[in-house]
Amino acid sequence: MFVFEKEQKVFEIGGVKVGGQPGVNPPLIIPSLFQKGDPCVESRRERKFNKQKAAEQIKRLEELTELTGMPAIVAMVANSGDEMKNYIDFYVDTTTMPFAIDMWNLEPRIEATKYVAELGLQDKLLYNSVTVWSPDVPAEVEQIKELGVKHVVTVVMDMADQLPSGRIGALDDMLQKLEPGNFQSIIVDTSVMNLPSTGICALSNRLVKEKYGLPAGAASANGTYMWQKAVWKDNVDKWGEKAFLGLDAGTHAATIALWGDFIFSGPMWGNDHVFPAVAAAHAMVSTMHYAETGELTANESTPVYKLFPDFVKTLKGEA
């Protein structure tokens, strides 16, 4: 169940690895910064943001990656190319972690990508993303290839068939269109449309890994934050102040437990509850892998080593 016959591809993005057999490598966490409602953003029009507050969040993220062994890439959100340039300058001065540009519209996303190319930072960039909704995927692929983009997210979905079969069919088509880009890394986002559909994404992730061996995951935060906005915020008196934290942590953990190599985990403020939950889930997957194969991952940066060293010694017969 947790070992694939298909060879599993492991990609490296700015020194961060993603992919492989479940439980072998730590999952990649991709939180957002400067998204709508982020208190760090003071004025998008004036390009003003609280650098100290943003830097503190990045530092805390670095601490959590060290504690759990789970790597991170920060997805920065902006509305315009100029705004994103401002964030990129700040980010590369603050941390050595790789980053993603998270921009819905193609024109400003390409403008920001050109700036990354001017800085020579293509190794550290995760291009987010080439989607099935792009008006001209081949043209976009050609543009980013010329800019030296090496690592991309592709988002797959079929509105006529929203089951895993539709997502795999969409991926078949997208991979053909992405092939001319000759990208070093392609990771597959299986499109969370709402919270319950995260289960469909989980099955889709399994099929992606079975058929192609590519790293697969989902923006599980899309579903949890939809629930927060539609249900929890207006019913805090019924659900309680901590209900969203549990739901958010549990959904991300389930995504990783069920064949997810990475998650888009939502705003940075959620890192403190997301990281422990996901780390626990991944430690369970590592032990399930051990139960199926008789071998524990040799990667000592995984949560099972970081958080449960005594249990690892027991499994290895060293205790």
Percentage of the chain lying above the pLDDT 70 cut: 100
10-315: CATH topology is TIM Barrel (3.20.20)
Mean pLDDT, range 155-183, rounded to an integer? 97
| Tens-place pLDDT, residues 85-129 | 999 999 999 999 999 999 989 999 999 999 999 999 999 999 999
Q: Which helix (H) or strand (E) holds 29?
A: strand 28-33
Distance CA 88, CA 259 (A): 32
The DSSP letter of residue 229 is I
Q: What three-state secondary structure class fits 311?
A: helix
Indicate the residue type of 101. Answer: I
Q: What is the mean pLDDT of the chain?
A: 96
Q: What is the dihedral of CA 17, 22, 23, 26, to 10 degrees?
A: 20
Residue type, 209: K
What SS3 string covers 241-279?
Answer: CCHHHHHHHHHHHHHHHCCCCEEEEEEHHHHHHHHHHHH
Q: Is residue 157 over pLDDT 80?
A: yes
Contact (CB, 8 A) for 188 and 217: yes
Enumerate the domain spans of the chain. 10-315
> What is the pTM assigned to this prediction?
0.96
Q: Residue 229 pLDDT > 90, yes or no?
A: no
pLDDT the model gives residue 86:
96
Q: What is the mean pLDDT of residues 268-273?
A: 97
Q: What angle do CA 62, 267, 230 make, to 5 degrees?
A: 155
pLDDT for 164 equals 98
At 10 the three-state DSSP class reads strand
Question: Which burial class, exposed, middle or buried, applies to 135 when counting CB atoms under 10 A from its CB (0-12, 13-18, 19+)?
Answer: exposed
